[in-house]
Amino acid sequence: MGLIEKEFVKFMERFDACTFELVLNGQKYLVGEGTPEFSVTFHKIPSMTDLLTSTSIALGEAYMDGDLVIKGDLYHALNSFLGQLGKFSTDTKKLKKLIFSSNSKSNQKKEVSSHYDIGNDFYSMWLDESLSYSCGYFKTEQDTLYEAQCNKVDRILEKLLLKEGMHLCDIGCGWGFLLIRAAKKYKIRGTGITLSTEQKKKFEEKIAKEHLEDYLDVKLLDYRDLPSLGIKFDRVVSVGMVEHVGRKDYTTFMECVKNCMKPGGLFLLHFISALQEHPGDAWIKKYIFPGGVVPSLREIINIAGDMRFYTLDVESLRRHYNRTLLCWNRNYQEHRDEVVQMFDERFARMWELYLCACAATFNNGIIDLHQVLFTNDVNNDLPMNRWY
């Protein structure tokens, strides 16, 4: 075994909390103890420089390029590896521009568009018919993905205590499922904002199809421009959007929400969270969510308190997101050949890696999903009991 192989095997042996077979040039090595659960074959060994600069980029690109092949279930393998994420190397100095990108309006629009404007046809392949691109809520083992997404939205709307005629703002409204359901069920007025032209176009088509023009509108708008609308909303909701804001601007985000709310109004924030503050994974930032940062629950609660947002309720949906992602991956695999035709094999491998890796990180508790319900200052008119 040559020097390069020796260094690489030694590096991979750090991930010995799981047992797997490492294959290099036809030679097999056992990492961990016992019977291997899967095998990892490298047709080309990443350089040690790349592995130490960013283990996740080096291994992620090797998988994308087909240089790394996993024999066995991809999710299971990633679930085992990512449970040892603390053993990954990341040189934040070398990767400063990637990990700490600009929070300017123009750059954030560019970053958001790079993900959500891939194409509505692409997302339609593997999301459910509601086009909900966030965590579902599984009431039973038998719930379909669509039922779970309906459950999630209904749960949010119940928490918001909506009444006919109220004005609801959805920050990061996606393709509009939540607002459409709210308008039809509660006869509220709704305003959605997004930075994705593809999402706005699809949402507007759905508004017209459902004849909800008198109830709903959608704007291509940065959250920082919300106060300029001059509207005071009764309710505000944001699902899976604050992860794009960036740590330096969480306070600005919360200020903008407060400035566009009526006193005593309800604000529900649904977001991927973490136990501690972390700048984010380098591979995810490079290929999937440029500029994305996962907030810690405690920093959001801390900022909210400084602004007299009163915390009414906090709920974790971590395991629901794990199941949601596994559903998405099953759908994705059914359409994988179409993805390859639409893009290429490298893109297809990148997205299956993303979906399975995210499912694994939720399962391992590396990230969480929280719904937090706030009131804008004190509200003594709400039910005293937990109503949902």
pLDDT 10s digits, 236-252: 999 999 999 999 999 99
pTM of the model: 0.93
Report residue 328's pLDDT band, with 50, 70 and 90 as the boundaries: very high
pLDDT per residue over 98-118, tens digit each? 988 777 878 777 767 767 768
Q: Is the pLDDT of residue 388 over 60?
A: no
Q: What is the pLDDT of residues 269-314, one digit of tens each?
A: 999 999 999 988 999 999 998 888 999 999 999 999 999 999 999 9
Of the pLDDT bands very low, low, confident and very high (cuts 50, 70, 90), residue 1 is low
Long-range contacts of the stretch 296-302 (C-beta < 8 A, 24+): 297/273, 297/368, 297/370, 297/372, 299/247, 299/250, 300/242, 300/250, 300/254, 300/269, 300/271, 300/273, 300/372, 301/372
Coil, strand or helix: which one is 251?
A: helix
Paired residues of 217 in beta bridges: 191
pLDDT value, residue 382: 94
358 is catalytic: yes
Nearest to 212 by CA among 235, 237, 190, 234: 190
- Name the helix (H) or strand (E) containing 374: strand 368-376
Catalytic residue among 169, 173, 256, 358: 358
Q: What per-residue confidence (pLDDT) applies to 4? A: 86
